[in-house]
């Protein structure tokens, strides 16, 4: 059994590791890679995995839940509120028009019973959140107008699943509703009580988000155990999903709400960083499952029907979306992209069809055929988008992504140009200076108490370990202009600086350095802008000492300026020299040796002799020579 | 051989100066023209003398480009003069490093030209007020050209700024390619006046 599990895990992982890079190599989206991985290891090609593809999909659907949680996290309630017109308007139009047209068309053309026709058209109306959102993310389109509309429609569809699943049993002939199926805890209760409980659950998520999640996360954060925080993040998402399932709501919707509630908390970036890898893996698994569950026998039995039907329903969906986009006055290229992206059927289709066939609304053969249609349309989407991108889109004007539009700027403002890690004495001074000059900075800090108090004062501070790549990405390192590494712990600070330098080579890094040897390490990383925390105050004190001993203040200050420049140059010189030695680590002896060398060099430096401004010695000499 | 021009620019609040923004924007993009923004290079007034002397050495025409503040230059420009024009290098018995180089002063001022006269509000002409700079150039064995002056920047439209900037660009281009006729130039108060006879 255990061997079996390992073997399966290895097959899945290996398939993903082999197929996804190949897909990427050909410029295809990773989704296609996963889908093909699924097809290849599935029962109809290699047969490495059997029919369990669908079971795996049920498990992996949790990836979709996590994705919605992340989307909620990124959205922030006020933005969600601003989108309400699109969610309700575009979403309802798409769902109603598509379902109606599909229903009427199938009723006329197909020899199906009207009940199964209705179930099928409803199932096909819903698009795939997983495929669309993942694709948008990969292509960096989530913040364009098309991305926002797609999201609005998908969100409405997620909500629409609930009433659709509620209506289906009414279609059944009455005799067959299967009690065990998809029934929530409360389905025996009367209608108004159910409604009350559902609203209660939603309110509970909201209130818990406000008053329970954040204090718990804070408590966990104080333990400073990374894995415990990850565990609580997972617990949070799972608990909310479970609660939603108990009251018969879609878990994805619940996760989305939980994300929305937490979007304003200081843990936002940390949660994003923690959940993102799970989401990615589960979604990958989900796509593999879709690929593996495509029943090629069924397709081969009547390929013409499946392919033609798939094409026609895709076209209908595409046209409806195009129309909805037109009503909302999208530019042609955005509208095309929008229509192509959402033209497939999605994971909810499987759920609805499965439910319908269990209710005996339609024969199993028909529902399996439709599932194959859905799977095919999901596989087709990335290709459609590729076709659009390569051949259709070029004919339609400019892409909207270019800056210059006010609309986009609102979103840009969300991401600060400056990201600063560490809000100790050092970092906070920097942030204050920037702030007094009207420049907001995104701050990452490990101390959750400090984070909270600073947030109250209106600073944009997030809790998290800045040496984690996910957090850096979540904080917006991709688009920032400046990264300031100002963490108190020098080791961590170097680690962070190195990580940023490595993963975001275009991002300028200004780094705090505790002392000379830190500075050497920074030079080795290629960071030239380092700031030794004790140099400037030590020189400042030295200048004051000179003044106390009778030097004029301006002269003493100029000596200080020169000393700093001279010392900074010596760092670069010595950093190179250091590599002549075999040992990289600075031993205490070497440190002393270096100090000696510095002092010796100072004797030859003759800082005062650089220029002779305002000195008259020479002039006097020349005057006396000529006299 | 084209002339190599070094523009030493000094403005403590460049970001808010419309006139100088236009002038600097129009400086021709040429390998022979070096734009050197002193307040950007030495915000701490700690001027690197050796570097500046090297720059001077490698150019034929030096431009002191600055606004006129209190009938003189901004303090960093003066600091530069104090530090870089060193005795024994720029002047004095052994100081010949700058001999024969041309010095052009390009200045902007809010006041109108008619105010700068013995009967006007400012009581002195620009030429008179710039005598200390002229004399400094002479002590350093340089040839001081009539200044390039933009008057009335306080009440000027964007077109006005652009017109002057265009003229400045043409002057620089001309100086890059030609050695100016010095005796002809001596008859003009401003370089602007002379150059307008050239292009018309």
Burial of B34 (0-12, 13-18, 19+ CB in 10 A): middle
Structure tokens at A251: 């878990």
- pLDDT computed for residue A602 by the predictor: 60
Alpha-carbon Rg for chain B in angstroms: 16
Looking at chain A, the whole-number percentage of residues with pLDDT higher than 90 is 8
In angstroms, rounded to a whole number, what is the distance separating the alpha carbons of residues A153 and A158?
Answer: 9
Q: With an 8 Å Cβ cutoff, is B75 touching chain A?
A: no
**Angle at Cα A550 formed by Cα A548 and Cα A552, nearest 5°?**
100
DSSP B15: G
Angle, helices A251-262 vs A145-171, to 10°: value is 140
Short-list A355, A352, A356, A330, CA closest to A341: A330
CA distance A199 to chain B (A): 57
Number of neighbouring beta carbons within 10 Å of residue B187? 10
In angstroms, the Cα distances linking A100 to A307, A517, B88 are 22, 72, 94
B58-97 CB burial, b ≥16 within 10 A, e <16: ebbbbbbbbbbeebebbebbebbbebbbbbbbbbbeebeb
- pLDDT computed for residue A180 by the predictor: 43
User: Residue A247: which pLDDT band, with cuts at 50, 70 and 90?
Assistant: confident
Section A160-170 average pLDDT:
77
In angstroms, rounded to a whole number, what is the distance separating the alpha carbons of residues A153 and A403?
Answer: 25
In angstroms, rounded to a whole number, what is the distance separating the alpha carbons of residues A534 and A165?
Answer: 67
Q: With an 8 Å Cβ cutoff, is A622 touching chain B?
A: yes
DSSP calls for A549-615: TT--HHHHHHHHHHHHHHHHHHHHHHHHHHTTSS--S--HHHHHHHHHHHHHHHHHH-GGGS--TT-
A300-316 per-position pLDDT tens digit:
888 888 888 888 889 99
User: Residue A610: which pLDDT band, with cuts at 50, 70 and 90?
Assistant: low
The answer to whether the CB atoms of A619 and B92 lie below 8 A apart is: yes
Q: Are strands B33-37 and B5-9 parallel, antiparallel or unpaired?
A: parallel
Q: With an 8 Å Cβ cutoff, is B82 touching chain A?
A: yes
**Angle at Cα A374 formed by Cα A396 and Cα A296, nearest 5°?**
120
CB pairs under 8 A between A and B: 28
- pLDDT computed for residue A627 by the predictor: 65
Q: With an 8 Å Cβ cutoff, is B51 touching chain A?
A: no
In angstroms, rounded to a whole number, what is the distance separating the alpha carbons of residues A14 and A9?
Answer: 8
DSSP calls for B117-151: STTSTT-S-HHHHTHHHHHHHHHTTPEEPPPEEE-
Number of neighbouring beta carbons within 10 Å of residue A223? 9
In angstroms, rounded to a whole number, what is the distance separating the alpha carbons of residues A512 and A514?
Answer: 7
Q: With an 8 Å Cβ cutoff, is A613 touching chain B?
A: yes
Asked whether the predicted pLDDT for residue A579 surpasses 70, the reply is: no
The answer to whether the CB atoms of B46 and A561 lie below 8 A apart is: yes
A122-132 per-position pLDDT tens digit:
889 989 888 88
- pLDDT computed for residue B130 by the predictor: 97
Which site among B87, B92, B93, B95 would you substitute to test the A interface, given the most A Cβ atoms closer than 10 Å to its Cβ? Answer: B87
The answer to whether the CB atoms of A562 and B87 lie below 8 A apart is: no
Structure tokens at B32: 């022979």
The residues, any chain, with a CB within 8 Å of residue A373's CB and separated by 6 or more, are A124, A306, A309, A310, A313, A345
A352-397 per-position pLDDT tens digit:
887 787 778 888 788 888 888 888 888 888 888 888 877 776 666 4
- pLDDT computed for residue A603 by the predictor: 56
User: Residue B164: which pLDDT band, with cuts at 50, 70 and 90?
Assistant: very high
Among chain B residues, the shortest Cα distance to A609 is held by B49
User: Residue A601: which pLDDT band, with cuts at 50, 70 and 90?
Assistant: low
B89-133 per-position pLDDT tens digit:
999 988 899 999 999 999 999 999 999 999 999 999 999 999 999
Task: Tell me, yes or no, if the pTM score tops 0.80.
Answer: no
DSSP 3-state of A13: helix
Q: With an 8 Å Cβ cutoff, is B177 touching chain A?
A: no
Is B129 in contact with B71 (CB distance < 8 Å)? yes
Alpha-carbon torsion A182, A188, A190, A195, what sign?
A: negative
In angstroms, rounded to a whole number, what is the distance separating the alpha carbons of residues A608 and A596?
Answer: 21
């Amino acid at each position: 059994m255990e061997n079996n599990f390992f073997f399966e895990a290895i097959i899945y992982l290996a398939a993903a590791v082999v197929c996804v890079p190949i897909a990427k190599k050909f410029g295809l989206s990773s989704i296609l890679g996963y889908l093909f991985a699924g097809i290849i290891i599935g029962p109809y090609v290699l047969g490495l995995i059997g029919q369990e593809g669908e079971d795996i999909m049920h498990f992996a659907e949790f990836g979709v839940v996590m994705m919605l949680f992340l989307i909620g996290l990124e959205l922030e309630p006020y933005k969600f509120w601003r989108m309400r017109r699109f969610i309700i308007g575009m979403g309802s139009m798409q769902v109603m028009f598509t379902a109606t047209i599909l229903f009427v068309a199938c009723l006329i053309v197909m020899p199906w019973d009207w009940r199964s026709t209705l179930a099928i058209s409803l199932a096909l109306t819903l698009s795939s959140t997983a495929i669309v959102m993942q694709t948008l993310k990969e292509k960096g389109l989530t913040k364009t107008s098309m991305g926002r509309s797609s999201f609005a429609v998908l969100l409405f569809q997620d909500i629409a699943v609930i009433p659709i699943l509620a209506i289906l049993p009414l279609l059944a002939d009455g005799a067959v509703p299967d009690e065990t199926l998809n029934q929530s805890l409360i389905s025996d209760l009367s209608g108004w009580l159910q409604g009350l409980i559902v609203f209660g659950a939603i309110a509970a998520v909201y209130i818990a988000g406000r008053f329970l999640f954040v204090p718990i996360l804070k408590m966990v954060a104080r333990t400073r155990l990374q894995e415990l925080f990850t565990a609580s993040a997972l617990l949070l998402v799972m608990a909310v999903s479970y609660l939603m399932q108990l009251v018969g709501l879609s878990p994805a919707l619940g996760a989305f709400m939980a994300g929305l509630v937490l979007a304003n908390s200081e843990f936002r970036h940390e949660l994003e960083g923690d959940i993102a890898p799970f989401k990615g893996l589960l979604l990958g698994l989900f796509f593999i499952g879709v690929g593996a569950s495509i029943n090629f026998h069924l397709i081969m039995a009547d390929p013409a029907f499946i392919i033609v039907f798939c094409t026609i329903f895709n076209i209908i969906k595409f046209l409806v979306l195009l129309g909805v986009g037109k009503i909302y006055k999208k530019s042609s290229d955005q509208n095309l992209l929008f229509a192509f992206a959402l033209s497939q059927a999605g994971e909810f289709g499987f759920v609805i069809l499965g439910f319908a066939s269990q209710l005996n609304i339609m024969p199993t053969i028909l529902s399996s055929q439709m599932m194959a249609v859905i799977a095919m349309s999901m596989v087709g989407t990335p290709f459609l988008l590729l076709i659009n991108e390569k051949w259709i889109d070029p004919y339609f004007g400019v892409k909207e992504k270019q800056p210059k539009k006010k609309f986009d700027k609102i979103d840009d403002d969300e991401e600060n140009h400056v990201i600063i890690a560490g809000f100790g004495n050092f970092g906070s001074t920097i942030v204050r200076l920037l702030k007094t000059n009207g420049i907001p900075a995104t701050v990452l800090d490990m101390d959750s108490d400090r984070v909270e108090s600073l947030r109250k004062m209106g600073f944009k501070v997030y809790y998290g370990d800045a040496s984690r790549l996910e957090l850096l990405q979540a904080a917006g390192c991709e688009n920032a202009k400046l990264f300031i590494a100002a963490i108190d712990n020098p080791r961590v600070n170097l680690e962070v600086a190195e990580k940023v330098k490595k993963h975001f080579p275009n991002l300028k890094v200004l780094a705090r350095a505790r002392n000379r040897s830190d500075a050497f390490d920074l030079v080795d990383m290629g960071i030239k802008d380092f700031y030794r925390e004790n140099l400037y105050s030590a020189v400042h004190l030295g200048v004051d000492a000179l003044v106390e001993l009778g030097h004029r203040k301006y002269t003493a200050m100029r000596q200080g300026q020169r000393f700093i420049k001279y010392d900074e140059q010596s760092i670069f010189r010595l950093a190179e020299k250091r590599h002549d030695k075999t040992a990289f680590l600075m031993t205490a002896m070497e440190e002393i040796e270096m100090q000696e060398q510095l002092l010796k060099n100072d004797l030859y430096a003759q800082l005062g002799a650089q220029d002779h401004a305002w000195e008259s010695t020479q002039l006097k000499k020349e005057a006396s020579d000529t006299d | 051989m084209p002339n190599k021009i070094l523009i030493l620019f000094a403005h403590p609040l460049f970001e808010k100066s419309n006139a100088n923004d236009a002038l600097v924007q129009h400086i021709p993009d040429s390998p022979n023209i070096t734009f050197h923004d002193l307040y950007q290079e030495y915000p701490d007034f700690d001027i690197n003398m050796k570097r500046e002397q090297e720059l001077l050495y490698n150019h034929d025409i030096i431009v002191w480009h600055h606004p006129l503040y209190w009938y003189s230059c901004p303090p960093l420009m003066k600091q530069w003069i104090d530090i870089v024009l060193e005795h024994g290098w720029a002047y004095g018995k052994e100081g010949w490093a700058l001999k024969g180089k041309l010095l052009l002063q390009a200045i902007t001022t809010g006041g109108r030209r008619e105010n700068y006269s013995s009967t006007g509000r400012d009581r002195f002409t620009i030429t008179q007020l710039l005598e200390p700079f002229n004399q400094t150039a002479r002590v350093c064995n340089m040839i001081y050209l009539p200044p390039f002056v933009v008057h009335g920047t306080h009440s000027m439209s964007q077109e006005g700024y652009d017109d002057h900037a265009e003229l400045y660009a043409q002057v620089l281009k001309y100086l890059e390619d030609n050695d100016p006729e010095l005796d002809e130039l001596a008859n003009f108060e401003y370089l602007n006046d002379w150059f307008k006879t050239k292009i018309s």
